[in-house]
Amino acid sequence: MRSYAAQRAALAVVQLAVLSVLVFVLTALLPGDAADMRFTETLTPDQVARLRSQLGLDQPAVERFVHWFGNVLTGDLGSSLISGGPVLDIVKASVGATLVLTLATLAVVVPAAVALGLLMGTRENGRVDRVITSITLALSAIPDFVIAVVLVTLFSLKLGWLPATWVGGDVLASPVLLVLPVAVLLGRTVCLLSRQVRAGTINALNADYVVQARRLGVPRRQLLLRHVLPNAAVPGVQELARTGDTLLGGVLVVEAIFAIPGFATALVNGVETRDVPVVQGLTLVLAVAALLINLAADLVCNRLVPRTELLR
């Protein structure tokens, strides 16, 4: 286990280095820069050139990358070209809402997906299995923004039961603000995970040791909890890692739809103003989060079923 964890951690470090290069290159390809976006109608070309020099935008790309990456290694994400404040402060101000939304979604997704997957897997090809499978297939094909429009129209505009946005709201004081955003994120994720848990459950139930345990009269509850569930959870956890990136992307979309003051708002503002350090910092944090999700999922799978060879 320790050797496997060390190997995965080393691979994550290499992936992080590659992602850092990609983040820098992609943000550098954005048209225009902060100097072009600031007061270009009132500044002369010479003044814009001086401003670009003051912001360090006239330096060679390689030199800017070395300086930026060196600061990242020390935990310094740089300073905003617009406000002048540390990018880390912007990350801290934005991460709260995004983290609350993500954790709230996972708190519902995981038990719901496991329960549905076990229910379908233990009733393979039965009526319950066919009905739930059909519903999950249909829901997984619907984009998040379509679900959001339907839910907001029904529960906010028509019935008036739930708020349509987070504007002026405090989620800690009013948890009801989470209901619609979490509901939007549930659909596709639960559908994908539950189908993987279903497949894992069917495979586990057909395994020789489970068949033998049945013959020996092992109680069904004990059989499911001690033998079937750990093996059935492996494909579900792996799918959770694969959909982790999608979930993060969905969180950003939902933040934009419901006016949630999280990473999406800060990232859009950074792109609109060509505030490259902010865009780089936020994107890098999201990339690190995705890497950690994949690393944690692999370690959990290896812990659940050590003999399983995880090929990612």
For the stretch 107-154, pLDDT in tens is 888 888 888 888 888 888 888 888 988 888 888 788 878 888 888 888
* Structural contact between residues 162 and 156, judged by C-beta atoms closer than 8 angstroms: yes
pLDDT band per the 50, 70, 90 thresholds, residue 307: very low
Q: What is the CATH number of the domain that holds 11?
A: 1.10.3720.10
Query: Do the domain assignments include residue 285?
Result: yes
Query: Do the domain assignments include residue 62?
Result: no
Instruction: Count up the domains in the chain and report the number.
Output: 1
Which has more confidence, 191 or 31? Answer: 191
pLDDT band per the 50, 70, 90 thresholds, residue 49: low
Whether the pLDDT of residue 44 is over 70: the answer is: no
Determine the structural domain holding residue 17 and report its residue range: 2-30+77-304
Query: Do the domain assignments include residue 71?
Result: no
**Residue 13: exposed, middle, or buried by beta-carbon count in 10 A (0-12, 13-18, 19+)?**
exposed
Query: Do the domain assignments include residue 235?
Result: yes
pTM for the predicted model, two decimal places: 0.71
Query: Do the domain assignments include residue 233?
Result: yes
- What mean pLDDT do residues 205-234 have? 74
Whether the pLDDT of residue 238 is over 60: the answer is: yes
Query: Do the domain assignments include residue 64?
Result: no
Query: Do the domain assignments include residue 275?
Result: yes
Beta carbons within 8 Å of 19's beta carbon, 6+ residues apart: 284, 287, 288, 291
The per-type count for the chain, helices as H runs and strands as E runs, is: 13, 0
Query: Do the domain assignments include residue 51?
Result: no
